[in-house]
Amino acid sequence: MNFTSLTFLIFLTIVFALYWLFPQRRAQNLLLLITSYVFYGWWDYRFCGLMFASSLIDYAAGLGIASATSPFRRRVWLSCSVAMNLGMLATFKYFNFFTESFAALAATLGWQVDPFTIQVILPVGISFYTFQTMSYTIDVYRGELKACRCLIDFCAFVSFFPQLVAGPLERASNLLPQFERERRFDEKLATDGLRLMLWGFFKKLVLADGLAPIVNARFNDIPASSGPQLLLATICFAFQIYCDFSAYSDIAIGTARQFGITLMRNFNHPYCAASLSDFWRRWHISLSTWLRDYVYFPLGGSRGTALQCTTAILLTFLISGFWHGAAWHFVAWGLLHGIATAATRGRTLRLPWLSSRWDWLSHAVAVGLTFSFVCLSWILFRAATLADARTILTKIAFKSFRSREWLDLPGDLGNQSRVTLVVLGLFILSEWFLRKYEHPIQLARLPLPVRWAAYTLLIWGTLELMPLTSNSDFIYFQF
């Protein structure tokens, strides 16, 4: 079931109405548990069994850790939880990658190895809920969270449908306690949630789906595309993936607020960042902070020597790239960000020949350089292979540039794409000038007629500007 489908809107309306008919938390949690499995099973009911197995394993591990009488037994329970979760990820997401990579390595050494592969469907959202449940057992082991005694509460926390498929990747210490306490309808919270959902629908349907034809036309036909066309497609992809993923997060957070549940903010105007470290504090915040707390800090983080810190950064980003996909171009993307982040860590760009009153110019240059690096690195993320990424970068860097090629948009979608690019320009301006706000339609202080006029304009603008052949799948479903 997709957020941008009519089916989801009907589903949400029914669940919302039933949810607030129940006055007690246990009944509300049971309803959320049932409806979350319906939501998840809409793709493939077989996925539900895997998620329930993951929930049972970590529920039992949490109780085992809490009741263990020795540090050794606590470590055994934690190890079982981590091994089972990583084992599921390795089987469903990485098994074929490992075997095929081994066969390719053997071939370079002159050995003929037929890789053994398994034909399995990648369960939607498995990378998210396995990391989320691992955070629970790790926090219980660290003594930062009490073990959950109610299986319904725990399973509802794991399967909570707004953030189940693509995040935010919630910490157990933030989300689970909300399922363990009574909730009352908060009109202000729910109303702001609706505003956030509306903004998310606009970003997904108008911008992300509107930019997709430009990106797909060039990245799917690299030999026939020129350097300027590929550069434009790369810039468009930078905003496509941002609008697509942040839109999912906005809709997820807004939907959760309808049930009195608060999810963490996942994006904070990342393309306004003035350094790579700043970018990763703003982009996919839930994953970045998860990796920081459960990978980077345990490896020594900033508390160790310069070598230990650099090693921790590189390993953290390597895991981040690998988390995104079982392919070498994802690994290269993560490693590239790791190297660049380690090299620029603790450094702030300042143009030395300018006085302090011109610091804004230094900041603007830093933002531009950071965006340029992030934008070009997205080529590794979007390209199908490392060879394709190399070809794209070569064309952008060395092939001749002709100004008219910038407007040579794909086929009969040209007019629609030009409108999308104009809207994108307005969106970029709103991102910059309203970067202090969570989203641009926080209009609570304006008169009611003005607010409703803005909402109506955004709704009709979305319906009018969205592509007729909109691709409703979110990019991060594949991760």
Query: Measured between alpha carbons, how far is 447 from 213 in angstroms, rounded to an integer?
Result: 39
- Exposed / middle / buried, residue 248 (Cβ in 10 Å: 0-12, 13-18, 19+): buried
Q: Do 284 and 199 contact (CB within 8 A), yes or no? A: no
- Per the prediction, the chain carries an average pLDDT of 84
pLDDT level of residue 365 (50, 70, 90 thresholds)? confident
**Average confidence (pLDDT) over 147-162:** 92
The position carrying tokens 């995104």 is 324
Contacts of residue 376, defined as CB under 8 A and 6 or more positions apart, other chains included, come to 234, 393, 396
- The span from the CA of 36 to the CA of 185, in Å, is 20
For residue 308, what pLDDT is reported? Answer: 83
pLDDT in tens, 290-320: 998 898 888 887 777 778 888 889 999 998 8
DSSP label of 333: H
Structure-model confidence comparison of residues 277 and 360, the more confident one: 277
Q: Contact at 8 Å (CB) between 42 and 102?
A: no
Per-residue pLDDT of 371-400, as tens digits, reads 999 999 999 988 888 889 999 998 888 765
Per-residue confidence at 364, pLDDT binned at 50, 70, 90? confident
- pLDDT band per the 50, 70, 90 thresholds, residue 45: confident
pLDDT for position 59: 93
**In the numeric block, which tokens belong to residue 275?**
């350094």
Predicted pLDDT of residue 216:
87
Cα(238)–Cα(241) distance, integer angstroms: 6
Other CB atoms closer than 10 Å to residue 24's CB: what's the count?
10
| Coil/strand/helix, residue 275 | coil
Give the integer Cα–Cα distance in Å for 436 and 406. Answer: 32
Catalytic choice (284, 324, 337, 439):
324
Which are the contacts of 262, defined by CB distance < 8 A and separation ≥ 6? 178, 189, 256
Nearest to 139 by CA among 202, 78, 76: 78
| Calpha distance 131→49 (Å, rounded) | 17
DSSP conformation letters of 412-430 = GGHHHHHHHHHHHHHHHHH
> Helices 25-41 and 151-159, interaxial angle, to 10°?
40
Percentage of residues of the chain with pLDDT beyond 90: 32
Residue 368 burial (CB count, 10 A): 12
pLDDT-based confidence at residue 444 (cuts at 50, 70, 90): low
DSSP string, 298-355: TTTGGGS-HHHHHHHHHHHHHHHHHHH-SSHHHHHHHHHHHHHHHHHTT-----TTS-
Give tens-digit pLDDT for 160-184: 999 888 778 888 888 999 999 989 9
Of the listed ranges 10-19, 82-91, 332-341, 384-393, the least confidently predicted one is 82-91
For the whole prediction, is pTM greater than 0.85? yes
More confident residue, 435 or 84: 84
Terminal C-alpha separation, the chain: 16
Contact in structure between 334 and 322 (CB atoms under 8 Å): yes
324 classed as catalytic: yes
Does residue 61 carry a pLDDT above 60? Answer: yes
